[in-house]
Amino acid sequence: MKNTKESEPAHVIRQAGFRATTPRIAVFSYLKKTTYPVTIQEIVKGIRPLHINQTTAYRMLESFKKVGLVVQVDFQHGHAHYELAGGRHHHHVVCTSCDKVEDVIGCNDQQLADKALRQAPGFSAITSHSLEFFGVCKSCTLAA
Amino acid sequence: MKNTKESEPAHVIRQAGFRATTPRIAVFSYLKKTTYPVTIQEIVKGIRPLHINQTTAYRMLESFKKVGLVVQVDFQHGHAHYELAGGRHHHHVVCTSCDKVEDVIGCNDQQLADKALRQAPGFSAITSHSLEFFGVCKSCTLAA
DNA sequence: TACTACTTGCAAATGATTTGCAAGTAGTAT
DNA sequence: ATACTACTTGCAAATCATTTGCAAGTAGTA
């Protein structure tokens, strides 16, 4: 299984230091085409008919996360959501009624982090942050 | 069990629409004296020698959260943390190595939320948001 | 083509949180 | 002070997300 086009999932996966296995290519490709952060369940179902074990998915996402290939986000739903990193850094607005998600960019994160660091005397560095917004989407507002 | 001084836990709890039971007063008082968001485990242990069931704690925190008495925060530790609401709105910096927590204030949240709402065409309102910073504290930096 | 370290699948363990139900009690009416 | 009822709690068991151990499979290299 070899494929060297720069943008090919297999290539990206190898660049990240992993073997380009069928499950990894499928998961990576799936994440590439999703438009919002997905759960492990969605990933496993999303790559059908290919079937992979949930354990495999958990391990894969964890390792992808470790090398910065994916980002984990928390919508306070009791389970993790993942999305591909690499795109423009952004955050999300989540509908607390129907779980719809939209992206938000331009949050001036560096400035936020700097300000936070200045206020935290016991810290020497801030490496990341999570920022999610919760609200009600228009369809749910109408439905209420 | 009656007590009407404005600031008394029992009074606050009744104002929120609950019965001022021993477990609730104990948990509320405990939260009042903690200086960082605590877990269910910490709460149950923190009110000793009074013993309450974890289930009770979960239900209590959930209901406190629902009426805005407490806020739930997520440090990506696999379990929820809670703190009393009502104080100044703030966020946290968490050490990814030792879990130390420090508060951060003045994040201009309203402005952040407004900006987010403007960018989310499908949403009619933003009701809350979560913002946590992750980094390394000074002791852990030295220990590394 | 062979080989080995990296991967995957499966089953079971762990940990957090939830649910059902019977027993207990705060707050109110008597 | 007493009785009463709806709100609360405790306990046991269920559920859900995630992790771990180990044997079998396979990608990438020699």
pLDDT, tens digit (0-9, with 9 covering 90-100), for B34-56: 999 999 999 999 999 999 999 99
User: What residue type is assigned to position B139 of the chain?
Assistant: S
Q: Which helix (H) or strand (E) holds A115?
A: helix A109-119
Burial class (CB in 10 A: 0-12, 13-18, 19+), B21: middle
Q: Which residues of chain A does B105 touch, with a Cβ-Cβ cutoff of 8 Å? A: 119
Residue B28's contacts (CB-CB under 8 Å, 6 or more residues apart) are B9, B12, B13, B64, B69, B84
3-state SS, residue A124: strand
Search chain B and give the residue with CA nearest A110.
B133
In which band, very low, low, confident or very high, does the pLDDT at A2 lie, cut at 50, 70 and 90?
very low
Amino acid identity, residue B45?
A: K
Which has more pLDDT, B87 or A3?
B87
- Given an 8 Å threshold on Cβ–Cβ distance, is A129 in contact with B131? yes
Across chain B, mean pLDDT equals: 92
The pLDDT value recorded for residue A5 is: 62
**Angle, helix B22-33 to helix B54-66, in steps of 10 degrees:** 70
How many angstroms is C1' of C17 away from CA of A25? Answer: 34
In the predicted structure, residue B89 carries a pLDDT above the cut 90:
no
Q: Answer left, alpha or beta for residue A86, where phi above 0 means left and psi between -120 and 50 means alpha.
A: left
Q: State residue A50's pLDDT score.
A: 97
Flag if A123 and B117 touch (Cβ within 8 Å): no
Q: Which residue has tokens 């008919």?
A: A49
Q: Is B136 in contact with B96 (CB distance < 8 Å)?
A: yes
Q: Are B134 and B102 in contact (CB under 8 A)?
A: no
Nearest by CB: A137 against B107, B123, B136: B123
Mean pLDDT to the nearest integer, A69-87: 93
* pLDDT for the residue numbered A109: 86
Q: Which residue type is seen at B50?
A: L
Q: Against a cut of 0.75, is the pTM above it? A: yes
Quote the pLDDT of residue B6.
61
Tokens of residue B21, six digits:
């039971």
Instruction: Determine the residue of chain A that is closest to B92 in CA distance.
Output: A116
Mean pLDDT computed over every residue of chain A: 92
AA identity, residue B84: L
% of chain A with per-residue pLDDT over 90: 82
| Main-chain dihedrals φ then ψ at residue A104, nearest 5 degrees | -135, 130
Residue B144 pLDDT > 80, yes or no?
A: no
**Smallest CA–CA separation between B7 and chain A, in Å?**
30
Distance CA B127, CA B121 (A): 15
pLDDT of residue B5: 61
Q: Report the distance separating Cα B127 and Cα A121, nearest Å.
A: 30
pLDDT of the residue at A6 = 62
**Looking at the predicted structure, is the pLDDT value of residue B99 above 90?**
no
Q: How far apart are CA A25 and CA A36, in angstroms?
A: 19
Mean pLDDT calculated for residue range B67-90: 92
